[in-house]
Structure 1
Amino acid sequence: MRRWFSISLLLIVTACSTTGTPTATVPAQPSPTATLAASPTLAPTATTQPSPTSVPTATPISSDPRTGRPAMARGTLTQRPYITMIDNFPAAYPQTGLDQAAVVFEALAEYGVTRYMAVFTPELAEVAGDLGPVRSARLYFVQWAMGFRAVYTHAGGSPEGLERLAADPNDLVIDIDLVSLESRQIFDYSRRSLQREAPHNLYTSAAQIAQYVDDRASDSAEADVNDVGFLFEPEAPVAEPVSTIDYFFIYPEDPAGWRYDPATNEYARLRRGAAHVDAVSGAQLTFKSVVTMEVFEAPIIGDDKGRIDQQVIGEGRALVFANGSLQEATWRKDSESAPLRFYDQSNAEIMFPAGPIWIAAMPSLDNVSYQ
C-alpha cells in the first residue's frame, strides 16, 4: 500500500488539470463506496426528510469576536464572495491565503490527493496578499461554488467542470480561468512564482479578482446573495470536549487532522502529522468549526487522467465538530443553485460558533476517528 501511495503521489501532478501535462498511466482507485458503472454525472439523492426548520439570530454574527476572522453569516453579504481553487500537491506546500478564508472545502481530486476550494468574503474582512497556488476546477467544486453565487477563480479544469462553467455565463458564478487568460497573453490577474515549478506556482489576489470583475464582468457583478451563508450564534464550549479529530480520504497513510484548543475554542490543523502552516504568516491554520461530510464518489469512466466525480447535490451524512462537541448531522443541497446546509437530528439547521468553517467531503465517514 505504501509503495502504491508513493507512486500515486508522484503521478497526480500529471492528472490535475487540462493544461498540457503528461497523462498518468496508473488507474484511478475507487473509494470504498464507488460504483465503477456510475455515469460521469451522478444522479442526485432524493430528499426524504421533512422540511427543515431554521431560526436565524436577530442580528447575524459576521465575524469571530475574539479574532475578527470572517463568519459567512446569512444575510450579511451584499456582494459576491470570492472562491479560489488551491493546490494541495506536496510541491504546493505551504499554501497562501487559506488562513483568511471564511470557508474551506477539502475534497478529492485524483489518485487520493485532495484539493481546496477557499471561500473569501472581502466585504467582511480584508483579504491581503497572494492566494494560491491556484489549480483546476472540477464539476463538483463548480456546483458548490454556484450555491455561493461566487466569483470563481481557477486554472483550467476537467471537461465536465469547464462545460458547466461555459453554460453559465456570469449568472450563478463569474468565471475566471487564469490558464485561459494566460493562453491569450493576459497576465493582469495572476502571477507565476519563480520559486516554484509549474503548475504549482500560479497565484492571484483579492485585488486582482476585483479588478477582473471591474474590467470584464461588471454587468454581472451584482447578485442576490441574501441567502448565502450559514447561521451563527455565540460560542458555548462544552466541559468535556472531543479534542482530537483524524481522517483520511482513501489512503490511511495520508491523514489529516485537527486538535481542539479549549482556551481559544478553535481547531488547529494537521497534515500528515505535522502542523499545516500558511506560507506568509508561518502560523498553523486554525478554524472555529470542522465538518466532515460523506459524498458518493466514483471514477469517470473513460477519463484518460483518472478523474473522479462526486455527488454533491442531494443529501448525506455529516459530522459537525464545534465548541469541542460532536453532532451527527445531515448535509443538503437541493440543486446546483441551492446553498449547502447542515441539519441536526431534529431537522433544525445547525448554528455554528462565529468564525471560519472547514468542510471535508470524503467517500466514507468510516474514515473519521475522534476522541
Structure 2
Amino acid sequence: MRRLMRTRAGLGAVVLAVLAAGCTVETDKPEPPLGGPSGGPGGSPAGAAAVAVKIDNVPQARPQTGLDAADVVYAEQVEAGLSRLMAVYASRLPPVIGPVRSARETDLELLRQFDAPVLAFSGAQSKLLPLIADAPLRAVPPDKAPGDAYYRDDARAAPHDLFLRPKALKITPHADALESTGFRFGPAPAGGTPETHRTVRFPSARFAFDWVEYEGRWRITMDGERARTPDGKELAASTVVVQYTKVRQSRFHDRSGNISPFTETVGEGSARVLRDGRAFDARWKRAAATDGTAFTTPDGKPLPFAKGQVWVVYAQA
C-alpha cells in the first residue's frame, strides 16, 4: 500500500485516478474546520458529526471494508443501472473504509437531514462540484483531507483501490446525529407477516436479504454474492427498509455519456420494513430536504426499527 501525499506528484496521481473513474475533483476552495461550518459554538461541536462515505459496489470492489461498522447503509442506483452505497457512521468509526468512490446529486438531498455531515468521496462530475461546494456539508475528497487519510491498496485494481482512514479526519463519532433521520427504534409493532427472504432488483444490480433466526439479523447478498468483510464475516442488518420512490434521470452524466439517475428522497410513498423475521407494510414521508423520513404503519402509527444496523434500499416506485 502507498499513501497519498500532498505533493504535486501525489495530487496528480489522485486526479488521474479520479478521472479514470469518470470524475473530477475541486482543489481551489478553502474549507472550514472539520465538524461543520461552525467548527464550534452555534453548530455541531468541533470535530463531531455524522460521517458519510461513498462506497463502491461492483464485484471488483468486494469485499468492502468497514461496512459492518456503519449505523446506516443506503443503497442507491447509479449509471447503467448499477448500485453504489453510502455508509453513514455516527456511533463509531472503523480503522479503514472503502473502496471509496464518487458522489452523486442524490447524496446532497439525502444528507440535508443531517447537521453539517462530513462526506468522504473520491471526486465527482465537474458540473456537480459547485453543488457539492454549496451544500451544507463538509466535503472531504482526497485533495482536501489530511495527507494520511486516503491511501491506495496495491492489491486492488484502480479505480477500486482507494481507501479512507476516517480517524485521520479528527472527527468524533456523534450518535445523536441519527435522530435527525426520523428513524425510531423500539419493540416491533403488532401485525406484519412472516418473511425470511426479500430480493430487490435494480436494472443491473440485485440485493437479497435472508432472515437468520439464531442471529436475529438479515444476512445480505449483493448481485448473487454473499456480502462479507475482508476477514470473511458475513454482513447482516437488524432492519431492512425497501423504500419505493421515484428514480428519474438527472442533468448529469459520466464520461461515457451514461445519465446519472436521481433518487427522490423528499416526498412520500410506500415501503416494506423487514425486522424480526417479519415484513411490515409502511408509508414513508419526508416533507422537506431538511426533515428526516417518518415511517408509519398503514393506520398512521410510528413504525420503529430494530436496534442495530439499518439498510435502506431505494427501489423504483
Residue identity in the other structure for 1:145: L
Q: 169, 176, 180: which is aligned to 1:209?
A: 169
- Superposed displacement of residue 297, structure 1: 1.7
Aligned 8 A contact 2:100 2:164 in 1:
yes
Matches within 5 A, 1:54-93: 79-93=48-62
- Superposed displacement of residue 270, structure 1: 1.1
Instruction: Render the CA deviation track for 1:229-271: whole Å, top value 9, x for unaligned.
Output: 52111468989730111121114xx422011012222100112
Aligned 8 A contact 2:98 2:163 in 1:
yes
Residue identity in the other structure for 2:285: R
Instruction: Render the CA deviation track for 1:73-107: whole Å, top value 9, x for unaligned.
Output: xxxx9842111010012221111011111100001
Match for residue 243 of structure 2?
293
The 3-state SS of whatever aligns with 2:99 is coil
Structure 1 stretches of 4+ moved >4 Å: 223-226, 235-240
Aligned 8 A contact 1:256 1:269 in 2:
yes
The 3-state SS of whatever aligns with 1:148 is coil
The 3-state SS of whatever aligns with 2:149 is coil
- Superposed displacement of residue 128, structure 1: 2.4
- Superposed displacement of residue 167, structure 1: 1.2
- Partner Cα distance (2:181, 2:21) in 1: 39
Residues 1:164 and 1:139: Cα distance change in structure 2 (over 3 Å): same
Residues 1:339 and 1:162: Cα distance change in structure 2 (over 3 Å): farther
Match for residue 255 of structure 1?
206
Match for residue 345 of structure 1?
298
Match for residue 283 of structure 2?
330
Match for residue 131 of structure 1?
97
The 3-state SS of whatever aligns with 1:143 is helix
- Partner Cα distance (2:112, 2:103) in 1: 13
- Partner Cα distance (1:226, 1:261) in 2: 28
Match for residue 308 of structure 1?
261
- Partner Cα distance (1:157, 1:140) in 2: 12
Aligned 8 A contact 1:84 1:134 in 2:
yes
Residue identity in the other structure for 1:165: I
Residues 1:287 and 1:347: Cα distance change in structure 2 (over 3 Å): same
- Superposed displacement of residue 127, structure 1: 2.4
Residue identity in the other structure for 1:194: D
Aligned 8 A contact 2:151 2:163 in 1:
yes
Residue identity in the other structure for 2:60: A
Aligned 8 A contact 1:137 1:162 in 2:
no
- Superposed displacement of residue 340, structure 1: 2.5
Residue identity in the other structure for 1:261: V
Q: Which structure 1 segments of 5+ residues have no match?
A: 1-16, 24-76, 214-220, 365-371
Match for residue 132 of structure 2?
165
The 3-state SS of whatever aligns with 2:202 is coil
Matches within 5 A, 1:16-31: 19-21=18-20
Q: 150, 153, 158: which is aligned to 1:193?
A: 153
- Superposed displacement of residue 133, structure 1: 0.5
- Superposed displacement of residue 136, structure 1: 0.7
Matches within 5 A, 1:145-184: 145-149=111-115, 150-159=117-126, 161-168=128-135, 172-178=136-142, 180-181=143-144
Q: 126, 135, 142: which is aligned to 2:108?
A: 142
Q: What is the TM-score normalised by the length of structure 2?
A: 0.77
- Superposed displacement of residue 131, structure 1: 0.2
Q: 69, 76, 80: which is aligned to 1:107?
A: 76
Aligned 8 A contact 1:236 1:323 in 2:
no
The 3-state SS of whatever aligns with 2:130 is helix
Aligned length: 273
The 3-state SS of whatever aligns with 1:227 is helix
Instruction: Render the CA deviation track for 1:317-371: whole Å, top value 9, x for unaligned.
Output: 211111111111122222222223322212222211111110000214xxxxxxx
Match for residue 269 of structure 1?
220
The 3-state SS of whatever aligns with 1:84 is strand
Match for residue 244 of structure 1?
197
- Superposed displacement of residue 160, structure 1: 5.8
- Partner Cα distance (1:330, 1:243) in 2: 21
Q: What is the TM-score normalised by the length of structure 1?
A: 0.66
Q: Which structure 2 segments of 5+ residues have no match?
A: 1-15, 23-43
Aligned 8 A contact 2:72 2:88 in 1:
yes
| Structure possessing the higher relative contact order (Cα contacts under 8 Å, 6 or more residues apart) | 1
- Partner Cα distance (1:227, 1:165) in 2: 21
**Aligned CA-pair RMSD:** 2.9
Aligned 8 A contact 2:75 2:314 in 1:
yes
More strand by proportion, 1 or 2? 2
Match for residue 26 of structure 2?
none
